[in-house]
């Protein structure tokens, strides 16, 4: 086992856990925000398991995802907007729980949690299918076009799964206001995809033909 990689992964994992916990529970004014704990459970437990699997089977992919840094200026803007979106959504969810503005029924949170876990499984499948998958927009050395599995249905299955994940999060938290904020993810990824496809078509052999074969970007028969 790569000890340095393991420690790096653990530090980022714990930091993420603490940050999400604080951002959710502080606005809620209590650690008894059960929807917040539900989200943290379905988010961080599978993340821990996936990290262990990547550590064992694909440490290079784990290292690449941990150390990813955007080089494209347009993508840096996308990352910034995404961070602001998450921050506002989580803070508003906590405040909604605290003041009881419009808290969704418990069954909505549990149903959304099931949808979230299904999307998480699909995300894991995307990682399995595409060893070139990166958190940044880039063309890697010896990269090839992947057109099997989910990539034979939509060109960007990673964004398909993250769209489901992100839109289910505010429902898990019981906050319709946060759901409205999370809808901003749609124009955000539209901007990212537009830039990403320009980069891939310019630098990845066969991608232009792949775009013609697989018509839909994110949602089959819709987008």
Per-residue pLDDT of the chain (223 residues; tens, 9 = 90+): 678 888 888 999 999 999 999 999 999 999 999 999 999 999 999 989 888 888 888 787 777 777 766 666 666 777 788 889 999 999 999 999 999 999 999 999 999 999 999 999 998 888 888 766 655 555 666 678 888 889 999 999 999 999 999 999 999 999 999 999 999 999 989 988 988 888 888 888 888 898 999 999 999 989 9
pLDDT at 114: 98
Neighbours of 185 (CB within 10 A): 21
Domain locations in the chain as residue ranges: 3-213
pLDDT of residue 69: 64
* One CATH from 1.20.120.1630, 3.40.50.300, 1.10.760.10, 1.10.3720.10 for 3-213: 1.20.120.1630
Q: How far is 195 from 34, CA to CA, in rounded Å?
A: 39
Give the per-residue pLDDT at 37. 97
CA atoms within 13 A on the CB side of 19: 9
């Amino acid at each position: 086992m790569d000890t340095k990689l393991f420690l790096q992964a653990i530090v980022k994992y714990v930091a993420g856990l603490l940050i999400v916990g604080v951002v959710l529970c502080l606005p809620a004014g209590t650690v008894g925000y059960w929807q917040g704990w539900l989200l943290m459970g379905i988010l961080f437990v599978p993340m821990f398991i996936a990290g262990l699997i990547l550590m064992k089977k694909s440490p290079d992919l784990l290292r690449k995802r941990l150390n990813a840094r955007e080089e494209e200026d347009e993508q840096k803007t996308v990352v910034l907007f995404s961070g602001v979106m998450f921050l506002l959504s989580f803070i508003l969810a906590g405040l909604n729980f605290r003041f009881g503005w419009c808290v969704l029924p418990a069954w909505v949170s549990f149903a959304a949690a099931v949808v979230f876990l299904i999307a998480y499984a699909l995300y894991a499948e995307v990682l399995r299918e595409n060893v070139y998958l990166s958190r940044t927009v880039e063309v890697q050395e010896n990269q090839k076009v992947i057109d099997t599995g989910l990539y034979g249905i939509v060109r960007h299955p990673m964004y398909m799964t993250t769209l489901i994940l992100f839109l289910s999060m505010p429902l898990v938290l019981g906050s319709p206001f946060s759901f409205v904020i999370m809808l901003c993810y749609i124009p955000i990824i539209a901007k990212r995809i537009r830039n990403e496809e320009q980069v891939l078509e310019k630098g990845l052999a066969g991608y232009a033909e792949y775009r013609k074969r697989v018509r839909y970007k994110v949602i089959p028969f819709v987008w």
